[in-house]
C-alpha cells in the first residue's frame, strides 16, 4: 500500500508542448505489466488456431535458409567468403528476420493500436517497446537453433568463430534494434497522414534486403562494382551483417570504420524516430 | 495546487481545424501543392467550402478557456448540449489528446471509462481480458490479482470467465467490461454515460457501485450525462458547459436549471446551419450540396401549434443539379435519442442556392422538447442510401401538452401516440 499512496501524491501536469527527444521511461516502466501482456497476447493471437503454432518461428527462417542455399549458393553459385553456405545464409536470415519484423512492427505501432490510442491513455512507447521485445523472443528462438547448427559446424571443424569478439554481438543486436525502431517510428508517424506509404514499407523492406549482404557477400560487391562499394557500405545493415558473420563464422570483410559509420546512422535514425513519434503522438487522437 | 485539490485546469483551450485538412494521400497533397505553385485550381478543395467555410484557416474551439478545480471525493456532473465540449474535456483530462493552450494538473491516477470494453481481445478469455484491460487502464498485475474475484463476481459471468470473449453475448461482454472499469484503482474516474449498459437490473447495480466508489472509497468521479435523473442521484456538484465555456459551476439543481434555461435561449425560428456539425458524410457526396439554413416560417416562436402541418423551410446550396434526392427530417429528444423520422418523396435540387419547403405531420408526437435534424440522401436502385449532407441539430421545437382528451404521460407511455386501439375484430385493409 505504501507504493500506492506514494503514487497518489504524484502530481501530473499536462501542457500543450512536449520535449522533442523526451522518452518517459519511468512512466513507461510503471506499465511494464502491460508491455508484458502485449507481448504474450501477441504470441497467443499469432499462434492460436494454427496447426503448427510456434513451430512457424523455427520453420520460416530454416526454409528461407534452405531456399537461399539452393538458389544463391548452389544454382547461382555465389561465393560465401569460404564459410559453409548453409551457415552463411542462416546467419544473415536470422538477423534480417529480426530487423525487418522490428521495423514493420514499429511502423505499424500507431495503426495497429489506433482504436486503443484514441480511447485510453497509456505511454504510447509501450507499443513499439512490446513489439521489440516480442521480436527479440521470436528471434531468440531462431538464434538458439542457429547456435545449435553452429556448434555442430564448430565441432566438425567447418567454422572457427572469433571468440574474442563475442561481446560485440549484444551491441550489434542493440544497434539493429535502434535502427529498425527508429526508421519504423518515422514511418509510423508519416503513415498517419499518408496512408499510401504503407505500401512502400513492405516493398521497401524487400528492396533493402537486396541492398544488404544477406543473400550474397559484400566482398562480391567490392569485386564486381568497386566504384559503388563505399556507397553500398553506407547501408547500416551491411556493416551489422558483416560484423555478425565475422564473429560467428570467422569470415567476411568486417571493417571498424564502416561499423562506426553504421552506428552513427543508427543512432541518428533512432533519435529522428523518437522525435517523429513524440510529435505524432501529440495529435494522433485528433487525426485518425 | 492546494492539498485537497485533485484536479485543476487553467484556461484550457482545445482547438480543432475544421473541414478536411489535407487529402490524406501523398499523391493528393502533392497535387494540391503543385496546383498552388502554378496558381491553378486545386482539384482537391471542395467547392462549397471556399464559399461557406474556408477550409484552410477555419478553426473551432471545442474548449475555450476552461478553468475548474475539483476536490477529493467530489462527484462532478458535467452537463451541456452536444458539442459543448464535455467529451473534449474528458479527453484532455484522460490525456488522449493534448490541449492547444493552458494546462491541467492532477494528483494520482486518472482512469477513463470513456468506452467500456476498450482493448478487449476476442481471442483471449474473460480472465485474460481482465488482466489486459486492467493493465491498459494503468493497473499492475498485483493490483488486478487483488480484486479479480470481486470483478468476476460483479460481472455475473461465472463459469464462462475462461471462455474466449468472442463467444460472449454482447450483454456479457459489456457487463465484464464495466466490472473491470468499476474496480479500477484510480484517484479520478471519468465516465461518459457508461451507466447505460446491460439490463435494467445491472444498470442499477452499476449506479450503486459508482455511488460506493465516490462516497465510500472517496474517489473523485467526473460523470458526463444527458440523463438528469442519474446526475441528480449521483453528483454532488455540477459543471455546465456551453460552446466550450463554463457557464455554471456549483449546486446540482441550480445547474440543471441553468442548463435547461440556456438550451431554450437557442430556440429560434431562423437558423444558420452552414457551419453546424455534420455527420456520416462521405466526402465525395458532401462536395455536391449542403444545407445552409433551417427555418420555421409559419411560426413566431418554437412552440408547434399545428402539429399536422409543421412547416419547415430548408435552404441549400448545390454545386451541381441533383436529381431524385430524398429529404429526411429526424426528431430527437432531449437525450439526443432519435424519436421519429419522416422522408420526402424524390425531389430535385437545382444548381446554386435553392429553397425547399416541406410540411411534416407530427401529430403522433407528444409533449416535450425536440431537436430537428435533416439529411439529404441519395437512394440507390438497391434502396441503399448515402447522405449528401446530414445535420443532426438544426433547430428546436417544443410541443405543448395536449389539453383535450387523455393526459398523455410521456415518461411512462412514450413520446409517440399510435392511432387509437380498435376494439373487436376490425382489421385495416
Domain locations in chain A as residue ranges: 53-287
Cβ–Cβ gap B98/A12 under 8 Å: no
pLDDT band at A239 (very low <50, low <70, confident <90, very high): very high
In angstroms, what separates the C-alpha of B350 from chain A's closest C-alpha?
Answer: 35
pLDDT at A117: 83
Q: Is B381 exposed, middle or buried (0-12, 13-18, 19+ CB in 10 A)?
A: exposed
Please choose, from the candidates B237, B279, B245, the residue with its C-alpha nearest in 3D space to the C-alpha of residue B262.
B245
As a whole number, mean pLDDT of residues A240-258 equals 89
Query: For cell 405543448, what's the residue?
Result: B400
Tell me the pLDDT tens digit for each residue of A157-177.
Answer: 888 888 888 999 999 999 999
**Pick from A37, A48, A120: which is nearest to B131 by CB?**
A37
Tell me the pLDDT tens digit for each residue of A254-288.
Answer: 888 999 999 999 999 999 998 888 888 877 777 66
DSSP per position, A135-153: HHHHHHHHHHHHHHHHHHH
Say how far apart CA B298 and CA B295 lie, in whole Å: 9
pLDDT at B84: 84
Phi, psi of A178 (to 5 degrees): -60, -45
Mean pLDDT of chain B: 81
Q: Is the confidence at residue A102, as pLDDT, over 70?
A: yes
User: What proportion of chain A, given as a percentage, has pLDDT over 90?
Assistant: 44
Cβ–Cβ gap B105/A13 under 8 Å: yes
Cβ–Cβ gap A286/B99 under 8 Å: no
Please choose, from the candidates B293, B284, B314, the residue with its C-alpha nearest in 3D space to the C-alpha of residue B378.
B284
pLDDT at B54: 43
pLDDT band at B194 (very low <50, low <70, confident <90, very high): low
Task: Using a CB–CB cutoff of 8 Å, tell me whether B11 touches chain A.
Answer: no
As a whole number, mean pLDDT of residues B270-284 equals 68
For chain A, percent helix, then strand, then coil, each to nearest 5?
A: 75, 0, 25
Task: Using a CB–CB cutoff of 8 Å, tell me whether B95 touches chain A.
Answer: yes
Separation in Å, CA B7 to CA A143, B75, B165: 50, 12, 35
Q: Is the confidence at residue B55, as pLDDT, over 50?
A: no
User: Other CB atoms closer than 10 Å to residue B415's CB: what's the count?
Assistant: 19
**Pick from B96, B107, B135: which is nearest to A121 by CB?**
B96
pLDDT at A211: 92
| Out of A99-103, B85-89, B190-194, B297-301, least confident range | B190-194
User: Other CB atoms closer than 10 Å to residue B250's CB: what's the count?
Assistant: 12
Cβ–Cβ gap A195/B131 under 8 Å: no
Give me the count of residues in chain B.
429
B119, B129, B137, B187: which to substitute to probe chain A, counting the most A Cβ within 10 Å?
B119
Please choose, from the candidates B368, B269, B278, B264, the residue with its C-alpha nearest in 3D space to the C-alpha of residue B310.
B269
Task: Using a CB–CB cutoff of 8 Å, tell me whether A31 touches chain B.
Answer: yes
**Pick from A12, A116, A196: which is nearest to B136 by CB?**
A116
pLDDT at B24: 57
Say how far apart CA B376 and CA A164 lie, in whole Å: 76
As a whole number, mean pLDDT of residues B245-251 equals 91
Say how far apart CA B272 and CA B286 lie, in whole Å: 18
Q: Is the confidence at residue B191, as pLDDT, over 50?
A: yes
What is the interface size between A and B, counted as CB pairs within 8 Å? 111
Any idea what DSSP says for residue A261?
A: H
As a whole number, mean pLDDT of residues B348-373 equals 90
User: What proportion of chain B, given as a percentage, has pLDDT over 70?
Assistant: 85
Cβ–Cβ gap B98/A37 under 8 Å: no
Mean pLDDT of chain A: 86
pLDDT at B44: 58
Packing angle of the helix pair A197-210, A168-193 (nearest 10 deg): 150
pLDDT band at B193 (very low <50, low <70, confident <90, very high): low
Say how far apart CA B328 and CA B343 lie, in whole Å: 4
Query: For cell 445552409, what's the residue?
Result: B292
Q: What is the pTM of this model?
A: 0.72
**Pick from B124, B138, B139: which is nearest to A44 by CB?**
B124
Task: Using a CB–CB cutoff of 8 Å, tell me whether A22 touches chain B.
Answer: no
Report the residue of chain B nearest A13, measured CA to CA. Answer: B105
Q: Is the confidence at residue B332, as pLDDT, over 80?
A: yes
pLDDT at B117: 63
pLDDT band at B374 (very low <50, low <70, confident <90, very high): very high
Task: Using a CB–CB cutoff of 8 Å, tell me whether A196 touches chain B.
Answer: yes
Report the residue of chain A nearest B187, measured CA to CA. Answer: A8
In angstroms, what separates the C-alpha of B138 from chain A's closest C-alpha?
Answer: 7
Say how far apart CA B361 and CA B311 lie, in whole Å: 9
Q: Calculate the dihedral angle through the C-alpha atoms of B87, B93, B97, B103, rounding to the nearest 10 degrees.
A: 120
E-strand spans in B193-321? 220-224, 237-242, 245-250, 270-272, 289-295, 310-318
B contacts of A44 (beta carbons < 8 Å): 123-124
Phi, psi of B280 (to 5 degrees): 50, 50
Tell me the pLDDT tens digit for each residue of B121-180.
Answer: 778 888 988 888 888 877 888 888 988 999 899 888 888 899 888 888 877 888 888 888
Amino acid at each position: 500500500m505504501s507504493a500506492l499512496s506514494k503514487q497518489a501524491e504524484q502530481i501530473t501536469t499536462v501542457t500543450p508542448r512536449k520535449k522533442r527527444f523526451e522518452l518517459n521511461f519511468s512512466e513507461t516502466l510503471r506499465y511494464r505489466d502491460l508491455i508484458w501482456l502485449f507481448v504474450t497476447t501477441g504470441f497467443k493471437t499469432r499462434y492460436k488456431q494454427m496447426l503448427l503454432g510456434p513451430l512457424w518461428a523455427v520453420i520460416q527462417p530454416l526454409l528461407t535458409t534452405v531456399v537461399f542455399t539452393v538458389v544463391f549458393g548452389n544454382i547461382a553459385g555465389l561465393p560465401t567468403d569460404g564459410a559453409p553456405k548453409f551457415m552463411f545464409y542462416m546467419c544473415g536470415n536470422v538477423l534480417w528476420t529480426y530487423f525487418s519484423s522490428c521495423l514493420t512492427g514499429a511502423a505499424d505501432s500507431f495503426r495497429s493500436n489506433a482504436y486503443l490510442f484514441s480511447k485510453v491513455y497509456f505511454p504510447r512507447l509501450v507499443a513499439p517497446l512490446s513489439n521489440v521485445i516480442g521480436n527479440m523472443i521470436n528471434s531468440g528462438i531462431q538464434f538458439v537453433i542457429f547456435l545449435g547448427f553452429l556448434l555442430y559446424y564448430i565441432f566438425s571443424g567447418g567454422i572457427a568463430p572469433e571468440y574474442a569478439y563475442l561481446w560485440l554481438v549484444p551491441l550489434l543486436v542493440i544497434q539493429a534494434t535502434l535502427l529498425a525502431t527508429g526508421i519504423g517510428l518515422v514511418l509510423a508517424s508519416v503513415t498517419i497522414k499518408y496512408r499510401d506509404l504503407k505500401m512502400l514499407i513492405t516493398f521497401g523492406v524487400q528492396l533493402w534486403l537486396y541492398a544488404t549482404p544477406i543473400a550474397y557477400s559484400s566482398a562480391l560487391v567490392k569485386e564486381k562494382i568497386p566504384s559503388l562499394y563505399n556507397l553500398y557500405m553506407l547501408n547500416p545493415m551491411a556493416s551489422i551483417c558483416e560484423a555478425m558473420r565475422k564473429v560467428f563464422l570467422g569470415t567476411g570483410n568486417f571493417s571498424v570504420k564502416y561499423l562506426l559509420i553504421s552506428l552513427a546512422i543508427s543512432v541518428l535514425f533512432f533519435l529522428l524516430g523518437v522525435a517523429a513519434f513524440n510529435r505524432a503522438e501529440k495529435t494522433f487522437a485528433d487525426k485518425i | 495546487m492546494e492539498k485537497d485539490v485533485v484536479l485543476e485546469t487553467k484556461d484550457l483551450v482545445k482547438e480543432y481545424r475544421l473541414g478536411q485538412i489535407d487529402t490524406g494521400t501523398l499523391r493528393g497533397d502533392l497535387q494540391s501543392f503543385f496546383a498552388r505553385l502554378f496558381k491553378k485550381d486545386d482539384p482537391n478543395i471542395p467547392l462549397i467550402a471556399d464559399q461557406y467555410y474556408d477550409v484552410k484557416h477555419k478553426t473551432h474551439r471545442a474548449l475555450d478557456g476552461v478553468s475548474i478545480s475539483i476536490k477529493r471525493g467530489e462527484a462532478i456532473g458535467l452537463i451541456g448540449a452536444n458539442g459543448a465540449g464535455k467529451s473534449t474535456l474528458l479527453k484532455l483530462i484522460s490525456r488522449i489528446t493534448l490541449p492547444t493552450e493552458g494546462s491541467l494538473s492532477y494528483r494520482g491516477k486518472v482512469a477513463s471509462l470513456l468506452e467500456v470494453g476498450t482493448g478487449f481481445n476476442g481471442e483471449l478469455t474473460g480472465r485474460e481480458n481482465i488482466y489486459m484491460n486492467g493493465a491498459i487502464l494503468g493497473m499492475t498485475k498485483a493490483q488486478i490479482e487483488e480484486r479479480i474475484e470481486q470483478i468476476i463476481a460483479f460481472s455475473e459471468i461465472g463459469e464462462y470467465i475462461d471462455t474466449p470473449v468472442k463467444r460472449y453475448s454482447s450483454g456479457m461482454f459489456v457487463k465484464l467490461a464495466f466490472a473491470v472499469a468499476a474496480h479500477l484503482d484510480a484517484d479520478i474516474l471519468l465516465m461518459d454515460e457508461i451507466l447505460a449498459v446491460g439490463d435494467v437490473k445491472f444498470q442499477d447495480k452499476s449506479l450503486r457501485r459508482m455511488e460506493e466508489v465516490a462516497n465510500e472509497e472517496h474517489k473523485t468521479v467526473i460523470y458526463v450525462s444527458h440523463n438528469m435523473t442519474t446526475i441528480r442521484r449521483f453528483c454532488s456538484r455540477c459543471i455546465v458547459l456551453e460552446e466550450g465555456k463554463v457557464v455554471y459551476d456549483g449546486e446540482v439543481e441550480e445547474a440543471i436549471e441553468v442548463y435547461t434555461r440556456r438550451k431554450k435561449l437557442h430556440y429560434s425560428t431562423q437558423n444558420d446551419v452552414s457551419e453546424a456539425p455534420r455527420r456520416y458524410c462521405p466526402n465525395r457526396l458532401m462536395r455536391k450540396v449542403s444545407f445552409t439554413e433551417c427555418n420555421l416560417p409559419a411560426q413566431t416562436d418554437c412552440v408547434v401549434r399545428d402539429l399536422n402541418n409543421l412547416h419547415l423551410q430548408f435552404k441549400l446550396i448545390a454545386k451541381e443539379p441533383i436529381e431524385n434526392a430524398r429529404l429526411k427530417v429526424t426528431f430527437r429528444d432531449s437525450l439526443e435519442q432519435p424519436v421519429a423520422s419522416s422522408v420526402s418523396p424524390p425531389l430535385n435540387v437545382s444548381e446554386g442556392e435553392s429553397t425547399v419547403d416541406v410540411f411534416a405531420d407530427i401529430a403522433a408526437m407528444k409533449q416535450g422538447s425536440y431537436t430537428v435534424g435533416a439529411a439529404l440522401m441519395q437512394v440507390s436502385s438497391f434502396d441503399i442510401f448515402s447522405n449528401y449532407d446530414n445535420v443532426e441539430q438544426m433547430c428546436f421545437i417544443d410541443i405543448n401538452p395536449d389539453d383535450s382528451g387523455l393526459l398523455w404521460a410521456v415518461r411512462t407511455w412514450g413520446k409517440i401516440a399510435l392511432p387509437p386501439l380498435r376494439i373487436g375484430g376490425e382489421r385495416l385493409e
